[in-house]
């Protein structure tokens, strides 16, 4: 490990950035160095601009280029102490994405029904609806994170490397027990990736890999398995549904904040929304005339 990489890793830790963010920033800076064939200590504004223009010419998405820009900004501002390098480098503009929404109960039931013949996928996404886990948190779960006696699921690697616990209801426990009997994934992973012997073909002898299923794989499955004719559903929609349903049922905002792993209740208040089911059930003032 080079001295510069070691110092940047230490700076990232001092900022309390999460493990995934640290890895992404380090990989982004390494790509920048490989592109120019020199240490970033010897590079400046012109080289940064050339690298970001190279990514744009490769048709990299603005959201991807923003990450590279953020990584290089951290490098030059905090690690190298040269903020002037990034001062005149424009940050890519990211288009506003479709806002996340809460599913109705009927939409959630239809989504799970479309996965009924796929126990791995059904259990993964049903667990997200039951607990509000991020897709990365669900993928990283291990068998020992399921605390049957306490009725809790331990989330050990949440956003920002913050641990928390979420509820494990009797119904969710039965779901996991049935999944374990049917799928029989190898311990310690709860949702391991499949081992391929050829592209698209699972190894018949050793079907499971020693690492968790990737979030990109599960996001692709979620897109593919949605009911025909339904609105597009994302993993974020499922997480928002969990928080919205709890608040509609009268749960305390602080409790929902803790369950979702938000640092601030203001984030939770913005994150949730009014479900269409509740709007439909609300009587109109006109009816009281």
Helical axes 45-57 vs 62-74, angle rounded to 10°: 160
94: left (phi over 0), alpha (psi -120 to 50) or beta: beta
Residue 25 known to be catalytic: no
The answer to whether the beta carbons of residues 247 and 253 sit under 8 Å apart is yes
Residue 262 known to be catalytic: yes
Upper half-sphere CA count for residue 193 (Cβ side, 13 Å) = 16
Q: Which of 68, 122, 179, 271 is catalytic?
A: 271
Q: CA 192, CA 178: separation in Å to the nearest integer?
A: 17
Q: Which of 78, 159, 164, 221 is catalytic?
A: 159
Structure tokens at 151: 């009725």
Residue 239 known to be catalytic: yes
Residue 159 known to be catalytic: yes
Reduced to 3 states (helix: H, G, I; strand: E, B; else coil), residue 100 is coil
Q: Which of 134, 142, 171, 281 is catalytic?
A: 134
Q: Which of 262, 270, 281, 286 is catalytic?
A: 262
Structure tokens at 237: 């929609």
The alpha carbon of residue 103 and the mean position of all alpha carbons in its chain are separated, in whole angstroms, by: 18
Secondary element (H or E) of residue 120: helix 119-131
Secondary element (H or E) of residue 212: strand 208-212
Residue 240 known to be catalytic: no
DSSP state of 163: -
Q: Which of 22, 60, 221, 236 is catalytic?
A: 236
Residue with token string 């920033």: 25
Q: Which of 65, 101, 239, 240 is catalytic?
A: 239
Reduced to 3 states (helix: H, G, I; strand: E, B; else coil), residue 198 is strand
Residue 271 known to be catalytic: yes
Q: What are phi and psi of 29, to 5 degrees?
A: -65, -40
> Which residues have CB under 8 Å from 89's CB, separation 6+?
45, 48, 49, 52, 69, 72
Catalytic residues: 134, 159, 236, 239, 262, 271
């Amino acid at each position: 490990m080079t001295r510069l990489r070691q110092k940047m890793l230490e700076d990232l830790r001092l900022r309390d950035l999460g493990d995934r963010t640290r890895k992404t920033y380090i990989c982004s800076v390494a790509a920048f160095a490989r592109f120019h064939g020199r240490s970033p200590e010897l590079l400046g504004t012109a080289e940064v601009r050339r690298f970001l223009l190279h990514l744009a010419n490769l048709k990299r998405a603005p959201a991807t280029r923003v990450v590279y820009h953020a990584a290089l900004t951290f490098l030059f501002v905090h690690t190298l102490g040269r903020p002037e390098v990034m001062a005149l480098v424009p940050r890519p503009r990211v288009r506003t994405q479709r806002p996340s929404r809460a599913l109705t109960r009927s939409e959630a039931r239809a989504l799970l029904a479309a996965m009924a013949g796929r126990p791995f996928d059904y259990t993964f996404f049903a667990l997200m609806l039951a607990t509000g886990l991020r897709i990365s948190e669900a993928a990283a779960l291990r068998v020992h994170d399921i605390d049957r006696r306490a009725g809790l699921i331990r989330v050990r690697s949440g956003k920002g490397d913050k641990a928390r616990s979420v509820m494990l209801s009797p119904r969710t426990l039965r779901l996991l027990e049935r999944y374990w009997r049917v799928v029989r994934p190898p311990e310690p992973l709860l949702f391991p990736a499949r081992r391929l012997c050829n592209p698209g073909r699972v190894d018949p002898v050793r079907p499971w890999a020693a690492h968790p299923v990737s979030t990109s794989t599960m996001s692709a499955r979620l897109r593919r398995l949605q009911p025909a004719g339904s609105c597009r559903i994302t993993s974020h929609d499922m997480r928002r549904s969990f928080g919205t349903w709890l608040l509609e049922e009268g749960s305390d905002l602080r409790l929902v904040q803790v369950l979702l792993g938000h640092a601030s209740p203001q984030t939770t208040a913005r994150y949730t929304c009014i479900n269409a089911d509740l709007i439909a059930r609300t009587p109109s003032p006109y009816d009281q005339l």
